[in-house]
């Protein structure tokens, strides 16, 4: 029988973290985005480090074969930042690629093989048209039984939303409240793809209409704007444009070291005290359509290893690729009961930046952007900065000794949950 309790062979700490700007990035490739993240990470290692210290590289990348017609992304990233001949590898697990890369790097250190490892991810997604990008993303479904019968990614999460609405009475307004919250957070993140509140978006649209001499729309509030199909069209019913994360270019990376060497690099390392990963069935094969079983399994592993519970976590970055995904995530992680409470959390302000349980203070995938192979590592960059009090304008006021990230691969066929501690 498999063991229930899992422990790392030795402790591992994050001593540096950085990311590229997220957005539509013209004239750069995946490896150059990764180099930008690496350059951003370097000054975050307070006491500095030598290139020679890095013993291996693990890079998450979901689809450069499709978007860039380029494989071997691990080696290309090693080459551009000057790590050759160190071993480098690319890890693909759809939208969880970089969390799995971080976890594999962590396991390599915990095994005793390496002391210092560079981990992260990169994704250049804006090279293809909307139609081909939809197709590329849908390759993360089971293309035999899901993609080929017509499911897209917005569509798979939309199906979960209809089941959630049917079972719990969740409304589209509940979902849109997640978008409003995450745009409020992301407006303070200079690296976000769309650093704007929904109100900012409304003002921009109004100004554009005036400029073009078109009838000036008059919305009384954010919800009225979001319910205006001329400005927020349906993508996959009930998912509208503002329920969906954008298609984003970006990269992120972290420097991981063995716990006993952490203080050589910084006085304030962030320790990874819990890690969990699980796989899951196709959507139609699951016992439930209103939660993600792999996320629950990964969370249980991470909480068990860390010896903490959901109530101990001060802030979390969760996988809000679609608004309904955040509603399911905060229940799967045990922060809220599944159903009404989780659906109402954003509207009630509990998950706001100044709420009792701040969720996605970076802006989340929704506003910061979702370069699929870089997303998990970028969640960790945010937590690293927040836990060290280095998040600038969007710094959460509470002292954050424990934080968590939740990263879903595809529609829940992979899930990674990790817990971080500042001592």
Partner 1 sequence: MKEIPFTIASFNNYLTERKFMASKCESCGALWLPPRPICLNCKGDDMAWTELSGKGTLVAFTVIGVGPMPMIEAGYDRDNPYCVGIVEVEEGPRISAQILGVDVSHPENITIGTPVVADYVERGSWHFVEEVAKARKVYLAFRA
Active site residue 370: yes
Distance of alpha carbon 98 from alpha carbon 90, whole angstroms: 9
Residues 106-135: x where in contact with partner 1 by CB under 8 A, - otherwise, as a string: ------------------------xxx-xx
For the bound state, the minimum distance from the C-beta of residue 284 to partner 1, rounded and expressed in Å, comes to 4
Candidate list 84, 111, 143, 398; residue touching partner 1; CB under 8 A: 143
Sort 272 into a burial class: Cβ within 10 Å, 0-12 / 13-18 / 19+. Answer: buried
User: With respect to partner 1, which residue has the nearer C-beta, 163 or 223?
Assistant: 163
Residue 110, C-beta contacts closer than 8 angstroms, at least 6 positions apart: 8, 9, 10, 11, 12
Active site residue 245: no
For the bound state, the minimum distance from the C-beta of residue 156 to partner 1, rounded and expressed in Å, comes to 8
Query: Does 67 contact partner 1 by CB under 8 A?
Result: no
Candidate list 155, 195, 269, 412; residue touching partner 1; CB under 8 A: 155
Query: Does 154 contact partner 1 by CB under 8 A?
Result: yes
Distance of alpha carbon 15 from alpha carbon 44, whole angstroms: 8
- Beta carbons of 165 and 238 less than 8 angstroms apart: yes
Candidate list 8, 72, 163, 344; residue touching partner 1; CB under 8 A: 163
User: With respect to partner 1, which residue has the nearer C-beta, 105 or 238?
Assistant: 238
**Near partner 1 by CB under 8 A, which window of 144-152, 176-184, 195-203, 308-316?**
144-152
- Beta carbons of 334 and 297 less than 8 angstroms apart: no
**Near partner 1 by CB under 8 A, which window of 10-18, 52-60, 180-188, 278-286?**
278-286
Compute the Cα dihedral for 306, 309, 311, 316 and give only its sign. Answer: positive
> Residue 223 has which token pair?
């919800």
For residue 93, give the DSSP letter. B
The end-to-end CA distance of the chain, in Å, is 35
The four Cα atoms 356, 359, 360, 365 give a dihedral, to 10 degrees, of -160
User: With respect to partner 1, which residue has the nearer C-beta, 36 or 332?
Assistant: 332
Query: Does 283 contact partner 1 by CB under 8 A?
Result: yes
For the bound state, the minimum distance from the C-beta of residue 65 to partner 1, rounded and expressed in Å, comes to 9
User: With respect to partner 1, which residue has the nearer C-beta, 117 or 138?
Assistant: 138
User: With respect to partner 1, which residue has the nearer C-beta, 140 or 274?
Assistant: 140
Catalytic residue among 172, 183, 319, 370: 370
Sort 408 into a burial class: Cβ within 10 Å, 0-12 / 13-18 / 19+. Answer: buried
Residue 247, C-beta contacts closer than 8 angstroms, at least 6 positions apart: 125, 126, 133, 370
Query: Does 151 contact partner 1 by CB under 8 A?
Result: yes
In DSSP terms, which residues pair with 108 in a beta bridge? Answer: none
Catalytic residue among 77, 95, 245, 367: 95
Query: Does 235 contact partner 1 by CB under 8 A?
Result: yes
Give the footprint of partner 1 on this chain (CB under 8 A): 66, 130-132, 134-135, 138, 143-152, 154-156, 158-160, 162-163, 166, 233-239, 282-285, 289
Catalytic residues: 95, 370
């Amino acid at each position: 029988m498999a063991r229930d309790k899992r422990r790392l062979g030795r402790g591992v700490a994050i001593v540096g973290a950085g990311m590229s700007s997220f957005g539509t990035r013209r004239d750069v490739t995946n490896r150059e985005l990764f180099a930008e993240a690496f350059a951003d990470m370097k000054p975050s290692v307070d006491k500095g480090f030598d290139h020679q210290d890095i013993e291996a590289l693990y890079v998450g990348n979901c689809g450069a074969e499709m978007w860039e017609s380029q494989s071997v992304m691990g080696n290309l990233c090693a080459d551009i930042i000057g790590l050759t001949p160190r071993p480098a590898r690319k890890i693909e697990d759809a939208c969880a690629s970089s969390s799995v890369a971080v976890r594999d790097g962590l396991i390599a250190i915990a095994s005793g093989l390496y002391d210092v490892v560079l981990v992260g991810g990169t994704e250049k997604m804006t090279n293809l048209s909307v139609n081909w990008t939809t197709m590329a993303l849908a390759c993360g479904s089971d293309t035999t039984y899901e993609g080929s019968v017509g499911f897209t990614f917005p569509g798979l999460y939309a199906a979960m939303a209809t089941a959630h609405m049917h079972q719990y009475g969740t409304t589209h307004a509940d979902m849109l409240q997640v978008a409003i919250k995450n745009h409020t957070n992301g407006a303070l993140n200079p690296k976000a793809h769309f650093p704007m509140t929904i109100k900012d978006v409304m003002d921009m649209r109004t100004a554009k209409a005036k400029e073009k001499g078109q009838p000036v729309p008059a919305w009384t509030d954010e919800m009225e704007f979001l319910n205006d199909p001329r400005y927020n069209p349906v993508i996959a019913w009930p998912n509208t444009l503002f329920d969906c994360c954008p298609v984003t270019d970006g990269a992120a990376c972290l420097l991981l070291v063995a716990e006993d060497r952490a203080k050589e690099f910084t006085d304030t390392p962030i320790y990874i005290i819990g890690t969990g990963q699980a796989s899951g069935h196709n959507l139609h094969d699951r016992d439930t359509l209103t939660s993600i079983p792999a996320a629950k399994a990964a969370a249980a592993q991470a909480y068990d290893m860390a010896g903490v519970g959901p109530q101990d976590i001060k802030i979390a970055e969760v996988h809000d690729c679609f608004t309904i995904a955040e509603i399911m995530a905060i229940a799967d992680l045990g922060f809220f009961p599944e159903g009404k409470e989780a659906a109402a959390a954003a509207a009630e302000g509990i998950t706001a930046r100044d709420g009792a349980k701040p969720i996605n203070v970076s802006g989340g995938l929704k506003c910061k952007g979702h370069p699929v192979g870089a997303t998990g590592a970028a969640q960790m960059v945010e937590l690293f900065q927040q836990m060290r009090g280095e998040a600038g304008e969007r710094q959460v006021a509470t002292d954050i000794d424990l934080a968590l990230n939740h990263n879903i691969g595809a529609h829940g066929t992979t899930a990674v949950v990790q817990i971080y501690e500042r001592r």
